[in-house]
Amino acid sequence: MKTTLLATILLATTSLAIAQETVSVGFVSDTGADNGTAELTATPGGVLIELEISGLPAGQWVAFHAHETGSCDHTTGHDSAGGHFNPTGKTHGFLSADGPHAGDMPNQYVSADGILRAQVYNDRVRLNREKDGILGRALMIHAQPDDYESQPSGGAGKRLACGVIE
């Protein structure tokens, strides 16, 4: 009886852990329209993010970040998402001596049809709610590329697409 109960508890715990390894995120444009999705997958050393976002500036590079607050209010220009996720107090940018923020990720290229399709790996975050966790935070696409050094956000410009990581 005890063995059966223990096996049931272990199976339930394992099922919960597996169910939380992948999270889907819906994106909202700066006008409030649904404009894409991302799938985040936990790995032993970080998070793999696969995204497809439409309605972006065609044929150009755009910035991609994780932001500190899980709110995507388009009526505020997505300012509700706060600044970049930065649990360790680093300086912004890959080119900064004391950077990057945990939420800093490489620029992404938008194809001629205005759709961004990418796979990005971030080894500075985890898919949980711990100090370095991004559950409850937001993913953001900006109108311009990140210069990887300007403070506090790389001169990335307007926030075009935002998705809450739940």
Q: Over its length of 166 residues, how does the chain's per-residue pLDDT go in tens digits?
A: 544 444 444 444 444 444 449 999 999 999 999 999 999 999 999 999 999 999 999 999 999 999 999 999 999 999 999 999 999 999 999 999 999 999 999 999 999 999 999 999 999 999 999 999 999 999 999 999 999 999 888 899 999 999 999 9
Q: 71-81 b/e with 16+ CB inside 10 Å = b?
A: bbebeeebebb
For 50, the token pair is: 């696969």
Percent of the residues in the chain that have a pLDDT greater than 90, as a whole number: 84
Q: Any idea which residues carry the catalytic annotation?
A: 65, 67, 84, 92, 101, 104, 142, 159
Contact by Cβ (8 Å): 119, 48: yes
Strand pairing report for 22-29 and 159-164: antiparallel
For 61, the token pair is: 């590079």
Distance CA 18, CA 135 (A): 16
For 49, the token pair is: 């993010």
pLDDT at 152: 84
Contact by Cβ (8 Å): 65, 55: no
106: buried, middle or exposed (CB in 10 Å: 19+, 13-18, 0-12)?
middle
pLDDT at 7: 42
CA angle 104, 64, 61 (to 5 degrees): 120
Q: What is the pTM of this model?
A: 0.86
pLDDT at 19: 44
3-state secondary structure (DSSP) of residue 26: strand
Distance CA 48, CA 22 (A): 9
